[in-house]
Structure 1
């Protein structure tokens, strides 16, 4: 390693959950037009990151909302969404985002649909983090989804290719140990816990959700995941989703940063905003994690008590997706079969 490769750790810095507008590609007249919209979305991100950096001193981390570049599928067959919306991990779109990270000197977390050469005809929803040198330091693929393929749906083959470490990756960086949680996965405590077990200190949460002043399930979960794991949550929501028929502001506002005790440090209203920015104090987080106290919950976990229940129980089954043979209705019918089985067993 050369001297130029040595990076000094930072124990306090500012992060922003950037609240941006999503312009969905579903109604684009052609694949070429859809790809043009993706490029325009990346240009929008570049403009907003550059402007935000001028106003937020000490900024080191930017988290973008869920599927900001494309919106989500609304019934398109899996191969069609692959063609119109999914990014090639080695393609031009990711290269442009890596360039943005390098030019701005920031860590950038983007959530997008992406292809995988080992699974033709399928796509995964991924949260990817680029470092200030433009290097990909984290690739997390969403493990729980209602209507999309996840690694769990092709688990045996996925593990044979990538290994178990790929399921819950944590990036050890100069701004702390980063991990990603995608969208509604904030409601699944096991995801955050498995990441915390691997050292995660900052959860990067890209979302597109209904904003509410009430304690919605996701808002409750953000506070809970932070407090129960002693970790920061940087949660970026969309500022409206246009072009897919839904009222555009159904998913608008409430981007926030939550500290390791479950306190909201900053929160945006509605509209495009950089208001959800705050200082992340890793030194304070680490002091708390290393101090014996009642609310330091992570080192108090007694996993041996729970392991037999998890190991001996299966609800939603793995390996149900076959490339080229799966329609979107498969996911709903699979969940219905699970519900019927659990009801028959008297578990729900």
Structure 2
């Protein structure tokens, strides 16, 4: 579903944010219902998986401080917003993949960008938190404590469902092959990718990466982009278009143009994917991996840099500058 993200910048407080978000969820439920009916009449099969864009219900934090955004905007893990989204999945009888910013009681003052999947039961069966971000906290920034609470399977979760093994990739993480590979090596067959990115008739970095992540892992990529972001100073369609479904061979099965639409829909053939993964040959890139070769790569971004710290936006930029300077000193760039 390629839909317009709505910024909550204009909301006065957390109560106003919640009211706007709940209204938006209701609107999306109506759109999803209509789209499912059309697709089922068009293709003759029920819709089993729907993917929504990145930060659809709040937009991005912008210049709002980390602590302030966590307090005013970020969802609670057991909050009413997620309960409402679970009910949407339950009412439609499908798996619903969403992306939002959320708080964690173990890390006060911070928020994480989370990709979740709700099952037809309404239960959350997958919670993945973005690991690589320029201006937002990630689990890697509080790595030691995060592993203590959630373990490595909580970092790279895979949901084993009746429609296949699902995992999530958030936004620009699609250009980092290691993240998709870590999920694939844990059994992921379908990557749900919530994004808010520049659309173009030319191949963008993300568009190229979606195809690469699919064929190198023998996995499907279901990628939902925003249809613009409303309520900000940016021109509306700055992040719009090119939602797509890519098969395990890297072929784009369907792709949307610009605007709000459901037209990036396709069939997922798990039998063909599983057969390919079990067939010896040069194109079985997943089974040909030699992962031990890469266990001792040089460190780039350090872990635990936000332990016991609530950062400012300038702190993120300063840390990035320090990494570049260190890699330069060490002759690595």
1:22 paired residue number: 5
Q: Which SS does the other structure have where 1:308 is aligned?
A: coil
1:13 paired residue number: none
Q: Is the CA contact 1:231–1:260 (under 8 Å) kept in the aligned structure 2?
A: yes
Q: Is the CA contact 1:19–1:253 (under 8 Å) kept in the aligned structure 2?
A: yes
Which one scores higher on RCO, CA 8 angstroms, separation ≥ 6? 1
1:329 paired residue number: 314
Q: CA deviation at 1:111?
A: 0.1
Structure 1 segments unaligned to the other structure (5+ residues): 1-17
Q: CA deviation at 1:168?
A: 0.4
1:146 paired residue among 131, 134, 144: 134
Structure 2 segments unaligned to the other structure (5+ residues): 41-45
Q: Give 4+ residue runs of structure 1 displaced > 6 Å after superposition.
A: none
Alignment of 1:258-277 (within 5 A): 258-277=246-265
1:7 paired residue number: none
Q: Is the CA contact 1:260–1:285 (under 8 Å) kept in the aligned structure 2?
A: yes
Whether 1:208 aligns to 2:196 is yes
2:107 paired residue number: 119
Whether 1:249 aligns to 2:243 is no
Whether 1:109 aligns to 2:97 is yes
Q: Is the CA contact 1:121–1:323 (under 8 Å) kept in the aligned structure 2?
A: no
Q: CA deviation at 1:323?
A: 4.4
Q: Provide, for residues 235-276 of structure 1, a one-character-per-residue CA deviation record: whole Å limited to 9, x for no partner.
A: 000001011111110001110000000000000000100100
2:43 paired residue number: none
TM-score, normalization by structure 2: 0.96
Q: Is the CA contact 1:109–1:204 (under 8 Å) kept in the aligned structure 2?
A: yes
2-side partners of 1:31 and 1:341: how far apart? Answer: 40
2-side partners of 1:305 and 1:121: how far apart? Answer: 38
Q: Provide, for residues 257-310 of structure 1, a one-character-per-residue CA deviation record: whole Å limited to 9, x for no partner.
A: 00000000000000100100000000011111111122111101111222233x
Q: Which SS does the other structure have where 2:295 is aligned?
A: helix
Alignment of 1:80-229 (within 5 A): 80-229=68-217
Q: Provide, for residues 155-192 of structure 1, a one-character-per-residue CA deviation record: whole Å limited to 9, x for no partner.
A: 01111111111110000000000000000000110000
Alignment of 1:7-46 (within 5 A): 18-46=1-29
1:70 paired residue among 49, 58, 75: 58
Q: Is the CA contact 2:66–2:310 (under 8 Å) kept in the aligned structure 1?
A: no
Q: CA deviation at 1:50?
A: 0.7
Measured on the aligned residues, the alpha-carbon RMSD in Å equals: 1.0
1-side partners of 2:37 and 2:65: how far apart? Answer: 42
1-side partners of 2:232 and 2:170: how far apart? Answer: 21
Number of aligned residues: 328
2:323 paired residue number: 338
